[in-house]
Structure 1
Amino acid sequence: MNKILLLSVVLLGSFPFTSSFQSPAQSTENLAEKAKPRSLFNGKDLTGWHMDVPETDNDPTARNPFIIRNGLLVSLGTPGGHLITNDSYENYRLEIEYRFAGKPGNCGALVHVSTPRALYGMFPQSIEVQMMHGNAGDFWCIQEDIAVPDMDKRRGPKEKWGVNGDKLRRIPNLTDGSEKPLGEWNGMTIECVGKEVKVWVNNELVNHGFDATVQQGQIALQAEGAEVEFRKVLLTPISKLED
């Protein structure tokens, strides 16, 4: 009797590091989309997400910092906390459109989220992609780490690098002036493939990290002082074609 051997090979890998400024579309021209884009926000409620807001531990009447307003997902900024997806993801492109609703300030999108409140009793273990006005695209290492070119220049003295406490956790982005004027919508694209994370702000590559200590996890948005509106949170799974 003839034997039939069926081999199923799924390649979910990282793509080679490049420092060239490519658009998200150019970056993934050798990648196959195995699933259709999926909106993580339905425009009506917070289905698919849960909140972690430490202030509500002792005060159940504390304000909910994440609301739906006029079809937009809004982070009111206070009290501080995180809106976290129920599901975990690996190898994907995340497209976010956001703007500061009033005064500019701080916010962030966190990828590869795992243990909640792993830093300062507030921030979950993750790699944060900064949205703070004027610093969009910075990496912040939160109990996870990632490398970039010119680490000594961009991160500071190596002996002070770290992922918690008073260590140098910030890795500044590559550009200035990528953000649009206040009141206008910014587009941020984050690609997480294997151990690499690439970030574009308004189609300009602003950061590219590699050798991350984590490759999968949940996604989170912050409430960190400033009111921010989100009109798009779109995720597209990515898998790498065999060369």
Structure 2
Amino acid sequence: MRTLIPFFIFSFLLLSGQVSDLNKERVPCSLFNGKDLTGWHVDVPDMDNDAYAKSPFIVRDNMLVTLCEPRGHLITDRIYQDYKLEIDYRFPSQPGNGGVLVHTSNPRALYGMFPKSIEVQMEHKNAGDFWCIVEDIEVPNMEKRRGPKENWGTTDGKERRVQNLTTGSESPLGQWNTMVIECRGDTIKVWVNGDLVNEGFNATTDRGQIALQAEGAEMEFRKIEISHL
């Protein structure tokens, strides 16, 4: 029996450490440190051959800022699965377009610009729309929200937009919005300022990187926080 005691103690300590690590993974973690773009990388096609092109992704006043041009994406280095993402964002002056892409994989898969992904739209007055980018997702009332079935698709010329469920969920221009995206298995749910604005299922992927767009409008992000489900 004496020889077994150290083994039991070792096993208990090992198991305790594993449980502790699992609990830590469920504690919300910021993807943006407020100082620089550590943990992210930039993919902007216009920067490939122009040594003078500047990145549209900067840090200003402890906020992550996407500038108007050149257009492209800021992509996490890590791949994520089964998580809740909470983002505080706003258009500080002019209404415009932008989005957060979940389950991101192959870069420049559409139009030589957009990575393979499912976009959660942040465009002013359309926050929460899904855009299918060489990946797909289903929603209830599909034809009403996406158009005739024969036009559905995930590539150029196809109906890739899936309209959200609400109007009036966004804050007035210049004020902060909170978007929550829950990715669990092949489902994606989206809330804007507490309103459930979209819910999809049977997504063609369940994991990938997370990306932010620079798509012709200045946007500010003060919080980008993830917690594992």
TM-score by length of 2: 0.89
Partner of 1:94: 85
Does the aligned pair in 2 maintain the 1:104–1:226 contact within 8 Å? Answer: yes
Matched with 2:10 is none
Contact 1:43 1:71 in 2 (8 A): yes
- Quote the residue 2:138 is aligned against: 147
Alignment match, 2:97: 106
Aligned match of 1:116: 107
Cα offsets for 1:33-59 (capped at 9, x unmatched): 952111000000000000000000110
Give runs of aligned pairs for residues 206-221 of structure 1, distance below 5 A.
206-221=197-212
Measure how far apart 1:151 and its partner are. 0.3
Q: CA deviation at 1:210?
A: 0.2
Confirm whether residue 70 of structure 1 aligns to residue 58 of structure 2.
Answer: no
Q: How many residues align?
A: 208
Alpha-carbon distance, 1:61 to partner: 1.1
In structure 1, runs of 5+ residues without a counterpart are 1-7, 9-31, 239-243
Residue matched to 2:46: 55
Instruction: Note the 1:216-231 alignment, pairs <5 A.
Output: 216-231=207-222
Post-superposition shift, 1:86? 0.1
Matched, 1:174 2:183: no
SS at match of 1:167: coil
Quote how far apart the aligned CAs of 1:60 are: 2.0
Unaligned runs of 5+ in 2: 1-14, 16-22
Paired residue type of 1:120: Y
Query: 2:92, 2:175 within 8 Å by CA — same for their partners in 1?
Result: no
Higher Cα radius of gyration = 2
Is 1:131–2:122 an aligned residue pair? Answer: yes
Report whether the alignment pairs 1:201 with 2:171: no
Are the counterparts in 1 of residues 146 and 162 from structure 2 also a CA contact under 8 Å? Answer: yes
Structure 1 residue runs of 4 or more that deviate by more than 3 Å after TM superposition: none
Q: What percent of counterpart residues are identical?
A: 64
Aligned mate of 2:223, from 211, 222, 232: 232
Write the distance in 1 (CA, Å) between the matches of 2:24 and 2:131: 28
* Partner Cα distance (2:188, 2:130) in 1: 10
C-alpha distance in structure 2 between counterparts of 1:64 and 1:110, whole Å: 19
- After superposing the two structures, state which structure 1 stretch, 164-173 or 33-42, moved more: 33-42
> Paired residue for 1:13?
none
- The DSSP-based 3-state class of the residue aligned with 2:227 is strand
Higher share in helix: 2
| 8 Å CA contact retained: 1:99, 1:228 | yes
Q: Which residue of 1 aligns with 2:29?
A: 38
SS of structure 2 residue aligned to 1:55: helix
